[in-house]
């Protein structure tokens, strides 16, 4: 009952899906102990952050039916916000809070302005404007290198409690040393969990129902008395704020902010694919899509290296599985998954193809 309310009554709707989601939750909750090692912990943290980011994008794309190419820009604004906060105000939790809040407010304000000027017109116009603004923003970030570090970005110090140098207790728990790195992971994990549950609540609120009505038939939504433009702008601002907060968490995790890491168009495409592969219009799709995507991105190269070695001697195959071709394979996997699961993995599992 309590759990049902925690997930806003949004049941996965398929036993297999429920099991997979619980496995992902447990896997992430105990990641430092289940998958020890710097690399796998980094993968787990990225999964957390991209779940929150993909979920915030789905609020716009899947629930409201708005295509935006500026979503990663908001993510970047949040990341730079936290980074500048920590850099300028010193390594404290207060700096994170102020930086993240500043980033979120800036993201909301920019989203509001973009929405106000372009959501009144046709949907394609909004998509084009977001593309233009996001490109301009990326150029600006690299131009103002005094503040942003330009193309190289900049590193900064996070609170001491979140660094490996900080010892919580002597000794180890299940072979994992209890230090600030562990705290940092749980800081990110908790932040993302809260963000995700908040987004889940929003899409299941009366407001969320209106967004779906707008996606389904904006003409009729207006005709039954909803001010469609206002709802679209509100959804754009909300999703921008959520993206910015996810970005702040990402910057704290990386202890770094730079255009390639938090602002690139590549990430925008990744997030779009996560939402589409997982299944649009369901927050659970964002969980599945982000998890699959980040794991594929992190480990495909290894798998291919192993395959390449294993097929040593066979014609063509070792070459085809050469780890350098991993991007090609990632592409192939995506094309196939979109082709075979047009409603995403979640849609497929719910039997709604």
Number of residues that bind another protein (CB under 8 A): 30
Least Cα distance to 291 among 274, 309, 270 occurs for 274
Stretch 204-233: interaction string toward another protein, x if CB under 8 A: xxxxxxx-xx--xx-xxxxxxxxxx--x--
Binding status of residue 351 toward another protein by CB under 8 A: no
SS3 73: helix
Residue 20 or 55: the one with the smaller Cβ distance to another protein is 55
Residue 147 or 194: the one with the smaller Cβ distance to another protein is 194
Helices (H), the chain: 2-6, 15-29, 31-34, 38-58, 71-89, 93-118, 123-143, 145-148, 180-203, 206-216, 218-223, 228-254, 259-262, 265-278, 283-310, 317-320, 326-340, 344-349
Which region holds residue 216: left if phi is over 0, alpha if psi is between -120 and 50, else beta? alpha
Binding status of residue 193 toward another protein by CB under 8 A: no
Burial of 298 (0-12, 13-18, 19+ CB in 10 A): middle
Nearest approach in angstroms of CB 59 to another protein is 11
Instruction: Tell me how far apart the alpha carbons of residues 240 and 235 are, in angstroms, rounded to a whole number.
Output: 8
Residue 183 or 197: the one with the smaller Cβ distance to another protein is 197
Stretch 147-186: interaction string toward another protein, x if CB under 8 A: ----------------------------------------
Instruction: Tell me how far apart the alpha carbons of residues 218 and 273 are, in angstroms, rounded to a whole number.
Output: 25
Nearest approach in angstroms of CB 281 to another protein is 8
Residues 233-252 that bind another protein (CB under 8 A): 234, 238
Asked if 318 and 343 touch (Cβ cutoff 8 Å), the reply is no
C-alpha 80 chain-centroid distance: 16
Binding status of residue 202 toward another protein by CB under 8 A: yes
Residue 234 or 246: the one with the smaller Cβ distance to another protein is 234
Binding status of residue 15 toward another protein by CB under 8 A: no
Residue 114 or 202: the one with the smaller Cβ distance to another protein is 202
Binding status of residue 5 toward another protein by CB under 8 A: yes
Residue where the block lists tokens 């959804």: 235
Nearest approach in angstroms of CB 8 to another protein is 6
Residues whose CB is less than 8 angstroms from the CB of residue 255 and which lie 6 or more positions away in sequence, other chains included: 155, 156, 157, 158
Binding status of residue 66 toward another protein by CB under 8 A: no
Residue 193 or 320: the one with the smaller Cβ distance to another protein is 193
Nearest approach in angstroms of CB 221 to another protein is 8
Residue 234 or 277: the one with the smaller Cβ distance to another protein is 234
Nearest approach in angstroms of CB 74 to another protein is 18
Residue numbers at the binding site for another protein (CB under 8 A): 5, 8-9, 198, 201-202, 204-210, 212-213, 216-217, 219-228, 231, 234, 238
């Amino acid at each position: 009952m309590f759990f049902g309310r925690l997930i806003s009554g949004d049941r996965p709707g398929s036993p297999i899906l429920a099991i997979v989601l619980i496995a992902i939750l447990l896997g992430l909750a105990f990641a430092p102990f289940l998958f020890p090692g710097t690399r796998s912990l980094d993968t787990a943290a990225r999964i957390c952050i991209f779940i929150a980011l993909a979920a915030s994008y789905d609020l716009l794309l899947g629930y409201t039916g708005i295509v935006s190419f500026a979503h990663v820009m908001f993510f970047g604004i949040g990341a730079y916000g936290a980074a500048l906060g920590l850099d300028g105000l010193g390594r404290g939790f207060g700096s994170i809070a102020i930086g993240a809040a500043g980033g979120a407010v800036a993201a909301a304000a920019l989203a509001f302005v973009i929405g106000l000027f372009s959501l009144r017109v046709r949907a394609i116009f909004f998509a084009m404007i977001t593309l233009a603004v996001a490109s301009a923003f990326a150029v600006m970030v690299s131009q103002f290198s005094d503040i942003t570090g330009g193309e190289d970005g900049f590193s900064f110090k996070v609170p001491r409690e979140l660094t490996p140098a900080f010892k919580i207790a002597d000794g180890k728990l299940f072979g994992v040393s209890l230090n600030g790195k562990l705290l940092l992971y749980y800081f990110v994990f908790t932040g993302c969990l809260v963000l995700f549950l908040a987004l889940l609540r929003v899409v299941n609120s009366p407001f969320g129902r209106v967004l779906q009505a707008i996606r389904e038939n904006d003409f009729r939504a207006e005709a039954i008395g909803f001010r469609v433009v206002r709802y679209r702008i509100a959804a754009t601002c909300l999703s921008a704020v959520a993206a910015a907060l996810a970005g702040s968490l990402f910057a704290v995790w990386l202890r770094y902010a730079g255009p390639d890491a938090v602002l690139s168009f590549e990430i925008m495409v990744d997030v779009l694919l996560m939402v589409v592969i997982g299944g649009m219009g369901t927050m659970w799709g964002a969980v599945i899509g982000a998890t699959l995507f980040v794991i594929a991105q992190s480990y495909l190269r290894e798998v291919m290296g192993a395959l390449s070695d294993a097929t040593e001697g066979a014609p063509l195959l070792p070459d085809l599985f050469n780890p350098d071709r991993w991007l090609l394979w990632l592409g192939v996997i995506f094309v196939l998954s979109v082709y075979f699961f047009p409603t995403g993995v979640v849609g497929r599992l719910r039997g709604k193809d």
